[in-house]
């Protein structure tokens, strides 16, 4: 008959330590999705809640939950120079098309978060203007666009949305669809639309 000997105190200690290490050790790069690993460089701005662009001062955009198609297209525009921003041009230039797709896909799968009321602008007026001005056709009534080529606006920082509309209005940012739309907006329209979209309960999130 076989005899089962009790484990020694040293063996138990080693086994317990190994079990604790298995729980405590954080995931390494090899355990993370490729898009998450590639996004490490971007966390210094897009992973910090409330982080703002230095000049002009506005919040960097929330990217969590954004459409993958839109994000990949934006990175391509930064690489080509069609869309201008010194930091983004440099970072996007370090990604090829396949890597951009990995990052975009990973970001698109992140969960939503509640938006925040804007300090400026009238959200109720913005809700009416979304339909009146035609924004609903591409971006949806609440900013959760159905088509992946049109960005989600729900929960996005209000000041970032205002800056984007100002840039479309001035021509600093190019888009054949947005340019004529922005030309017809007043400063108050921009504030109201941003207030509405930024306050939506199921919106974009800051990457964690």
Rounded to the nearest integer, the mean pLDDT of the chain is 88
Q: What is the pLDDT of residues 89-148, one digit of tens each?
A: 999 999 999 999 999 999 999 999 988 887 799 999 999 999 999 999 999 999 999 999
pLDDT at position 13 over 90: no
| Virtual torsion, Cα 163, 174, 130, 53, nearest 10 deg | -20
Task: Please give the helix or strand (H or E) that residue 10 lies within, else none.
Answer: helix 9-24
pLDDT bin (cut points 50, 70, 90) of residue 32 is confident
Residue 117 belongs to what domain range? 35-198
Nearest one of 205, 186, 57 to 122, comparing CA atoms: 186
The whole-number pLDDT of residue 16 equals 39
pLDDT at position 22 over 90: no
| Highest averaged pLDDT of the listed ranges 20-24, 29-33, 191-195 | 191-195
Instruction: Tell me whether residue 20 is in a domain.
Output: no
Instruction: Tell me whether residue 6 is in a domain.
Output: no
CATH number of the domain to which 52 belongs:
1.10.760.10
Q: What is the pLDDT of residues 54-69, one digit of tens each?
A: 888 999 999 999 999 9
pLDDT at position 12 over 50: no
pLDDT bin (cut points 50, 70, 90) of residue 30 is low
- How many domains does the structure of the chain reveal? 1
Q: Averaged over 84-88, what is the pLDDT?
A: 94
Cα separation, 104 vs 99, whole angstroms: 9
Please indicate whether residue 189 or residue 26 has the higher confidence score (pLDDT). 189
Instruction: Tell me whether residue 182 is in a domain.
Output: yes
Nearest one of 121, 203, 191, 116 to 154, comparing CA atoms: 203
Q: Averaged over 14-43, what is the pLDDT?
A: 65
Spatial neighbors of 20 by CB under 8 A, at least 6 apart, are none
Instruction: Tell me whether residue 172 is in a domain.
Output: yes
Instruction: Tell me whether residue 15 is in a domain.
Output: no
Instruction: Tell me whether residue 205 is in a domain.
Output: no
pLDDT at position 47 over 50: yes
Instruction: Tell me whether residue 47 is in a domain.
Output: yes
Cα separation, 154 vs 1, whole angstroms: 71
Q: Averaged over 197-201, what is the pLDDT?
A: 95
């Amino acid at each position: 008959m076989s005899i089962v000997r009790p484990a020694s105190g040293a063996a138990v200690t080693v086994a317990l330590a190994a079990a604790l290490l298995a729980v405590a050790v954080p995931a390494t790069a090899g355990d993370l999705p490729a898009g998450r690993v590639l996004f490490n460089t971007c966390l210094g701005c897009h992973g910090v809640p409330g982080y703002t662009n230095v000049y002009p001062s506005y919040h960097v955009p929330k990217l969590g939950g954004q459409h993958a198609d839109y994000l990949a297209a934006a990175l391509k525009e930064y690489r080509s120079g069609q869309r201008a921003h010194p930091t983004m041009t440099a970072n996007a230039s370090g990604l090829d098309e396949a890597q951009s797709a990995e990052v975009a896909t990973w970001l698109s799968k992140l969960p939503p978060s509640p938006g925040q009321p804007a300090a400026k602008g009238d959200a109720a007026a913005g809700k009416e203007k979304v339909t009146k001005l035609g924004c609903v056709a591409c971006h949806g009534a609440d900013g959760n666009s159905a088509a992946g080529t049109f960005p989600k606006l729900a929960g996005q920082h209000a000041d970032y949305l205002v800056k984007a509309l100002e840039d479309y209005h001035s021509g600093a940012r190019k888009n054949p669809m947005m340019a004529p739309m922005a030309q017809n907006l007043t400063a108050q329209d921009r504030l109201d639309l941003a207030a509405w979209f930024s306050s939506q309960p199921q919106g974009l999130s800051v990457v964690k």
